[in-house]
Structure 1
Amino acid sequence: MTTTGKPLKFAVLGLDHAHVLGLIRGLTEAGAEFAGLWSETDTKLSAGVAERAPEVPRVADARQLLEDPSIELVVTAAVPARRAEISVEALRHGKDVVADKPGALTLDQLAEVRAAVAESGKFWSVAFSERTGSRATLHARKLIEEGAIGRVVQTVGFGPHHLRPETRPAWTFDPGLAGGILADIASHQVDQFLYLTGSTSAQVVSSTVGNFAHPDRPGFEDFGELVLRSEQAQGYARVDWYTPNGLGVWGDVRLTILGTEGYMELRKNVDLLGRPGGDHLFLVNGEGTNYLRSDDVELPYFPAILADVVERGDTAIPQELVFTATELALTAQRDANRVGNLR
């Protein structure tokens, strides 16, 4: 809600990744009004969104939404190469922005976003859904704050994904449009490293990208890994496109958090021992070994976004953390060793 008591209005500019469905759902469930959409590509996804929300105006010119003073927030899930440009335009038109990840593909793009945020006084948030949509991750943070595993000294994150190339748009396999695997998928793991270790900065110690399973697509990265180091902790991440069809979910996403007095392992999507659903959390410390559910943990990201728009807060994800996570992922991508079939 706004200070006038009316729902806060948002518009979507760019509907090229299915993550947009979660962004729309999260904002509307938090109380915002979906007030307009524009996409420069006409895909099944953009047509599907229009069909699901026929009352929402679909405009031919993005300026109609950018220049509408009643719209306070812009969401973009455009082709990744366009997200930073769309974000900058929205910021310069006085809109706050929520971008699907990756929010930028190059450090130059990120610098343009930084400048637009500084000039406009508005915020640019990237929806790192493996944290913001994960009750187990938020539960782990609470346990860390309570001292359940002592001081956190390392995170190890695995982000495997199901490719199914026949279901993916052509831009998925064009690194100039989609970015590399570290800029894209590993941004989740970088964000969680900062969030769970309390780090405000870090350095990329090493990074590698590879192509081992798709020699017919020599520009496509199907494997990536990186090592991070901050004053507080160390971090390792591995991401890939190798999830087999038999798993039943899009990826067996795991996160291990090592502390000086214990550790936690999170199985975000599936428990291979057969417990239903996701958000499985295992805690091992001096008191024993425990399996914990996280069903009652609230997901505050989207309500916090709306509050930040109205109250000019910095609570959903602090702006500097968004910048830092994106910069680290892009630096790892830029400096990565290239192995396998990559050309």
Structure 2
Amino acid sequence: MNEKQPNRRKFLKESVATAAGIIITSAIPTEAVRASANTGLTPLSAPNILTKSTDTPRIKFSAIGLNHGHIYGQVEAVIRGGGQLVSFYAKEPDLAAAFSKRYPDAKVARSEKEILEDKSIQLVVSASIPDERAPLGIEVMKNGKDFMVDKPGITSLEQLDQVRKVQKQTGRIYSIMYSERLENRATVKAGELVKAGAIGKVIQTIGLGPHRINLKSRPEWFFDRKRFGGIICDIGSHQCDQFLFFTGSTKAEIVSSQVGNVHYPQYPLFEDFGDVVIRGDKGTGYIRVDWFTPDGLNTWGDGRLTILGTEGYIELRKNIDIAGRPGGNHLFLVDNKNTQYIDCSQEELPYGKQLVDDVLNRTQTAMSQEHCFLATEVALKAQKQAQQLKINT
């Protein structure tokens, strides 16, 4: 038991670094990010980089479940949007202590029930263990609150049916934070360019989502696909979201999918590789996700997205331009006139504000509920239909 506690703390620290890389890297000086990668310090440990809201709060919100460091990026997004974090709850004392240190003004709730029954709270955010997220979201919605959850927000088709039913009954928001699109500045910019017709009609997306495994820091649930849903359900949900968004597809079918555990036999319930060929009513896509980012890379993963259009294409290097320009948020645009490079590090991140607007106005500007659920449904079906890949390494 004592051994698990330090591992959880280490996991939280390294998860926070991952979340920082996805959520706020571009808001931090490049030198600070590079230094953190070399020293082992996380960007979030640097002073004065957390969002400070000076305006009157627009909504009050709480956090339940702190099992992944993405919770910090989720909280920061809502604060940027005008939310006030008033309370939080975690079953794990060490996770609660770290979170309280980061947000000392937030009250430590005695139970989930205390937050659910607090009528002043309008939104709950969560990064609990993945298979616990949907049941929590159902309870949140039944208690008259909106819910924003880390991906994977749902880990089975059965959970998805239950969430859809309760969401329809209550009219509450169930938002899954697909941060590789919603909280990545280059991807936000790409969305603006595609909408403006910069590359014509989108034909295909190719989404690559490699991750560093940080093996020794991971908790037990990380290696059990029943808990995290499988690699396509988990990491691949990002790429499914981007495929639907950039092609404009409202229907999709899985042409083929495969998953495997090719390198970690000591964890028989784990998956370290997966890929998908997907066909929508307005485009096609290929997805590859894995846990094979080598330690020599100066970031957690060389995330890439290529968007092919009838009049050109866009390629994103989200986290790093290997052996090229420093930092992340790189966008390359090629059309019939020229080739451009666009530094997206100063682009606005609208998701947090849009979500708070939606909470207040009962709108769907941050993400339509239909899209949110469809992206998850596609990932879950690809996971369920996947053939088992066997590679001798």
Give unpaired runs (5+ residues) of structure 2.
Answer: 1-55
Structure with more helix by fraction: 2
Matched with 2:256 is: 206
- Whichever residue aligns with residue 165 of structure 1, its letter is L
State the TM-score, normalizing by the size of structure 2.
0.84
User: 3-state SS of the aligned residue for 1:320?
Assistant: helix
Paired with 1:139 and 1:336, the residues of 2 have a C-alpha distance of 32
Instruction: Report how far residue 180 of structure 1 moved.
Output: 0.3
Amino acid in the other structure paired with 2:86: A
Q: Does 1:28 align with 2:71?
A: no
Matches within 5 A, 1:145-160: 145-160=195-210
Corresponding residue number in structure 1 for 2:173: 123
Give 3-state SS (helix, strand or coil) of 1:266's partner: strand
Whether 1:196 and 2:250 are equivalent positions in the alignment is no
Task: Give the secondary-structure state (helix, strand or coil) at the position aligned to 1:224.
Answer: strand
Q: Determine the C-alpha separation between the residues in 2 that align with 1:201 and 1:46.
A: 41
Map Cα deviations across residues 75-94 of structure 1 (whole Å, 9 max, x no partner).
Answer: 11100010000000000000
Q: Is the 8 A contact 1:16 1:46 kept in 2?
A: no
Q: Distance in 2 between matches of 1:289 and 1:273?
A: 19
Work out the percentage of aligned pairs sharing the same amino acid: 46
Match of 2:90 in 1: 39
Q: 1:211 Cα shift?
A: 1.1
SS of match in other structure, 1:247: coil
1:254 and 2:254 equivalent? no
- The answer for unaligned runs of 5 or more in structure 1 is none
Once residues 29 and 149 of structure 1 are traced to their aligned partners in structure 2, the CA distance between those partners, rounded to angstroms, is 31
Letter in 2 for 1:330: L
Quick one: distance in 2 between partners of 1:82 and 1:341? 32
Query: Which residue of 102, 107, 117 maps to 2:152?
Result: 102
Q: Using the TM superposition, give the Cα deviation of residue 279 of structure 1 relative to its aligned residue in structure 2, in angstroms.
A: 0.9
Query: Counterpart in 2 of 1:111?
Result: 161
Map 1:147-186 → 2, pairs under 5 A: 147-186=197-236
Whether 1:80 aligns to 2:127 is no
Contact 1:218 1:341 in 2 (8 A): no
Question: Do the aligned partners of 1:228 and 1:235 also contact (CA within 8 Å) in 2?
Answer: yes
**Pairwise CA distance, 1:200:** 1.3
Shift of 1:313: 0.6
Tell me the distance in 1 between the aligned counterparts of 2:195 and 2:149. 29
CA distance in 2, matches of 1:102, 1:6: 28
SS at match of 2:119: coil
* Stretch of structure 1 that moved more, 51-60 or 129-138: 51-60
SS at match of 2:65: strand
Residue pair 1:154, 1:233 contacting (<8 A) in 2 also = yes
CA displacement at 1:341 relative to structure 2: 7.2
The two structures have a TM-score, normalised by structure 1, of 0.95
Shift of 1:288: 1.2
Partner residue in 2 for 1:56: 106
